[in-house]
Amino acid sequence: MQYMVGIDVGGTNIVCGLVNERYELVGKLKRPTEAALGVDHVLDKIANMIGELFVQFEADRTRLLAVGAGIPGFIDPERGVSIFASNLKWHNVDVSGRLNAKVGVPVFIDNDVRMYVYGEAMSGAGRGAGVVHGVTIGTGLAAATVVQGELYYGSGFMAGELGHIAIPGETTPCGCGLTGCLETVVSATGIVRQAKQALERGRESLLRGPYERGELSAADVSQAYDEGDALAIEIMEYTGQVLGTGLSYSISLLSPDVIVIGGGGAMAGDRLLKPVRETLSRSVYHGYLERLTIRQGELIDDGGVIGSAAFAKSRAEKLRQTGEGII
Ligand SMILES: [Zn+2]
């Protein structure tokens, strides 16, 4: 049995998982990232966690094939460099090279969303499908596409910024510098913003309680939806329609077999997917829809770790076959 270690490097926590060659998670460890203590501190911590995984879960360290790490922000996966990660304060960090020197096996990195979608494509809701398009809905919205087991990058590794297409009629400033981007509506942040704006205009709603306590969340909107709250239903309907419009572009360009919805937004389930499907039935050529399945992610918590491990396995095998690749 060979092993990979998959790592999800977040702004708050690092999760390291020991994954076997069947993409099963053997065990995982979670530690605070402590990015403020510097890149060396974070990379040393990851190297120590990798060592601990093999001790704690009683696996043979000599069977470690490769390490994969999903990192937020802009990544050059060919060179293994984190170009810019705002919440880690990383600029041009040679993660693959520096971590390889500490752990002695090839290290492959990519953007955290691409790693998650790769995990769903290889071992989750998209397994067995040829073209898998994945969308994660959290504080923002991002997307990635796996074509026959390979991530599609586009020029400059930029493919998948679906969150930043302009939605007609929307004017909210976006973190990217544009206004009215899709993720200003379709995200936990966007759902809460829509609710707050309606409440500030005086709308009556079950959401007023959590709003006045200063703790209104997207989960509250889901709960109010289930209780028949008119404002919550309107927000979910509109958010689903906007997501449907975004996906209609993806579908026409990519003709995916499966669309996987991941991130915290996947928890909204049919509250969001029902208006998505209605929008698609009106705005996409039926030939696409006959082939297409839209599913919630299966690997919500572990997708980043399993995806990073699967990505590392794929890259390491390619490196072994061709002598090309990273490290
Ligand atoms: Zn934007």
**pLDDT tens, position by position, for the chain (327 residues)?**
899 999 999 999 999 999 999 999 999 999 999 999 999 999 999 999 999 999 999 999 999 999 999 999 999 999 999 999 988 999 999 999 999 999 999 999 999 999 999 999 999 999 999 999 999 999 999 999 999 999 999 999 999 999 999 999 999 999 999 999 999 999 999 999 999 999 999 999 999 999 999 999 999 999 999 999 999 999 999 999 999 999 999 999 999 999 999 998 888 999 999 999 999 999 999 999 999 999 999 997 899 999 999 999 999 999 888 876 544
CA of 293 to the centre of ligand 1 (A): 27
CA of 176 to the centre of ligand 1 (A): 4
CA of 272 to the centre of ligand 1 (A): 21
Give the strands of the sheet with 81-85, arranged side by side: 74-76, 81-85, 90-93
CA of 171 to the centre of ligand 1 (A): 11
Q: What global pTM score does this model have?
A: 0.94
Residues 31 and 104 in one domain: yes
DSSP output for 214-278: T---HHHHHHHHHTT-HHHHHHHHHHHHHHHHHHHHHHHHH--SEEEEESGGGGGTHHHHHHHHH
- pLDDT computed for residue 87 by the predictor: 87
CA of 194 to the centre of ligand 1 (A): 17
Give the single-character DSSP code of 130.
S
- pLDDT computed for residue 163 by the predictor: 96
Residues 26 and 113 in one domain: yes
- pLDDT computed for residue 272 by the predictor: 95
Residues 288 and 305 in one domain: no
CA of 164 to the centre of ligand 1 (A): 4
- Which residues lie near ion ligand 1 (Cβ < 5 Å)? 164, 174, 176, 178, 181
- pLDDT computed for residue 309 by the predictor: 98
CA of 182 to the centre of ligand 1 (A): 7
Residues 66 and 135 in one domain: no
Residues 136 and 276 in one domain: yes
CA of 20 to the centre of ligand 1 (A): 38
CA of 221 to the centre of ligand 1 (A): 23
State which residues form the domain around 196. 129-296
Residues 134 and 59 in one domain: no
CA of 247 to the centre of ligand 1 (A): 16
Number of domains in the chain: 2
CA of 265 to the centre of ligand 1 (A): 18
Residues 95 and 137 in one domain: no
Residues 244 and 278 in one domain: yes
- pLDDT computed for residue 162 by the predictor: 96
CA of 148 to the centre of ligand 1 (A): 29
CA of 103 to the centre of ligand 1 (A): 37
Q: Looking at the domain assignment, is residue 124 inside a domain?
A: no
Residues 105 and 244 in one domain: no
Residues 51 and 140 in one domain: no
Residues 143 and 289 in one domain: yes
CA of 236 to the centre of ligand 1 (A): 20
d(CA 247, CA 259): 9
Which CATH number is 12's domain given? 3.30.420.40
d(CA 174, CA 268): 23
Q: Looking at the domain assignment, is residue 327 inside a domain?
A: no
CA of 74 to the centre of ligand 1 (A): 15
Beta bridge partners of 293: 258
- pLDDT computed for residue 324 by the predictor: 60
Residues 305 and 290 in one domain: no
